[in-house]
Structure 1
């Protein structure tokens, strides 16, 4: 799942979105901090292609995008909105194809602006990026070609504290950054950072009123942080080969950025540092059991403002959860399967 697949709904319940070969399943807490319900299929019975994406707005609504087969050798993108974790999501609706027709072109990315409008990004057939956004009065605007060349799969879409939509994408030898100039406008390519970012490792987070921060792994295996307009900073060696998950949270009264990643050894590794103060340093601490090689990690903050971490393995269907204990530092409860 591309995006934050562990989220807190507006009723305080946590939910997770879990992809299968032809669907997206949702599970939700029956009550904040309580047991979880069984998996439910999102958006009806339509069959999907692998590689869905999810994004969440400040209204806490979840927006999902995925490819759906339309006829042999062709596919189109579909969108669904999920208002509350324990309610059924809306049925998938077609939002078309960035090239008007053809097969799947890449993994979508979704983010939601301050007005609650979803923006879906995807690599197009020419190797650039296309975007389609919801209108303020309902419906969808046209597909927009944002340009770019040789864009790698799995872009990172994010909405800043300003409410403006941004996108990061890796290309050979560089990272591209698009940003809206005003609400509702088409994002424009603002900067190209020359850096060897490994494809599939990008994760973006809003870190202040003026900035979003991109985390990525470079070709030496180091985890780096970059805010457009500045130079990238090497944080620490990457714990494992996949992307990190990151959230802002309060740890012992301080605004911190918490990172999590499946380590090369198979456990979950955590690292934290004061937000936007990479020079303070960070180091990994591993937690939990050994995980399957396909396991992914997600982070959220629950209704009690406690950090929650989850791991999911598509191959085994195993979902594990832990929460921060009510004590100093980042002490975690025992991991449990739900």
Structure 2
């Protein structure tokens, strides 16, 4: 999944979204910190292509987007909304193709604005970024070409504390950035940054009322943080090859950003530092058992606003969960299989 696939719903229950073959599955807690329901398929029986995306709004609703095959050699994007863990997600609804027709052009990314409208971003055939978003009074607006060039890997879409939607995309030798200037408006391209970024490692997080922060791995193997208008900062050597997952939480009364990543040793590595204070430094602490090479990790906050982490291996389907202990620091409980 492109985006945070472990989320907390508006009722405090956690839900995970997991690609499985030609479908997306979801599992939810029966109650906060309670047992988990069995997996069920999102959106009905439509067959999907790999690389779905997810975003969540302030209302707690999840929005999902994915490619599906249409006719031989062509594909189209579909969208689903999941309102509450106890309800089934809506059936997949077609939102078309950024170039009207053709094969899939790249993995989508999803954000949700303060009014609960979904924004689906995807690379177009020209190499730039396109957008289709829901309208205020229902339905979808037309596809819009946001410009850009040579977009690589998964874009990272995020909604700031202001409710304005932003999106980042990696290109050879740099990162491009688009941001809404007003609610409901089309995001416009702002100043990017020249940096040697590895495609497929972008992760964006709202870190203050004014800023979102992009985390990425550069070509030397370091995890870097960048806020538009500032210079990128090297934060920590990457623990492993994939992207980090990030969440903000209070640790001993301090606003901190927690990063998680599957490490090269196969375990899950965690690091924490004061939010937007990268010069304070961070270091990795590994947790849990050794995981398969394709395992990924996601972090979120539970009903008590405490850190909870999940890992899943697509090849084995094994889903593990750990929660922060009720003690100082970032110590976690033993990982358990769901």
CA deviations on 1:197-236 (whole Å, 9 max, x unpaired) are 1000000000000000000000100110000000010001
* 1:58 matched residue in structure 2: 58
* 1:117 matched residue in structure 2: 117
* 2:265 matched residue in structure 1: 265
Cα distance in 2 for partners of 1:55, 1:11 equals 17
* 2:3 matched residue in structure 1: 3
Q: Is residue 9 of structure 2 the alignment partner of residue 18 of structure 1?
A: no
The aligned runs of 1:110-259 (5 Å cut-off) are 110-259=110-259
Contact 1:123 1:153 in 2 (8 A): no
Cα distance in 1 for partners of 2:87, 2:170 equals 36
Does the residue aligned with 1:72 lie in a helix, a strand or coil? coil
Give the Å deviation of 1:305.
Answer: 1.5
CA deviations on 1:135-164 (whole Å, 9 max, x unpaired) are 000000000001111100201000101111
Cα distance in 1 for partners of 2:228, 2:275 equals 16
Cα distance in 2 for partners of 1:220, 1:14 equals 36
Cα distance in 2 for partners of 1:42, 1:23 equals 7
Give the Å deviation of 1:86.
Answer: 2.0
Cα distance in 2 for partners of 1:161, 1:279 equals 23
Cα distance in 1 for partners of 2:193, 2:307 equals 32
Does the residue aligned with 1:154 lie in a helix, a strand or coil? strand
* Unmatched 5+ stretches in structure 1: none
Cα distance in 1 for partners of 2:28, 2:129 equals 33
Count of aligned pairs between the two proteins:
338
Contact 1:28 1:36 in 2 (8 A): yes
Does the residue aligned with 1:282 lie in a helix, a strand or coil? coil
* Unmatched 5+ stretches in structure 2: none
* 1:298 matched residue in structure 2: 298
Does the residue aligned with 1:138 lie in a helix, a strand or coil? coil
Give the Å deviation of 1:278.
Answer: 0.5
* 2:69 matched residue in structure 1: 69
* 1:96 matched residue in structure 2: 96
Normalised TM-score (structure 1): 0.99
Cα distance in 2 for partners of 1:251, 1:225 equals 20
* 1:34 matched residue in structure 2: 34
* 1:46 matched residue in structure 2: 46
Cα distance in 1 for partners of 2:178, 2:12 equals 32
* 1:316 matched residue in structure 2: 316
Structure 1 consecutive aligned stretches of length 4 or more whose deviation exceeds 6 Å: none
Does the residue aligned with 1:230 lie in a helix, a strand or coil? coil
Does the residue aligned with 2:279 lie in a helix, a strand or coil? helix
Normalised TM-score (structure 2): 0.99
Does the residue aligned with 1:279 lie in a helix, a strand or coil? helix
Give the Å deviation of 1:182.
Answer: 0.6
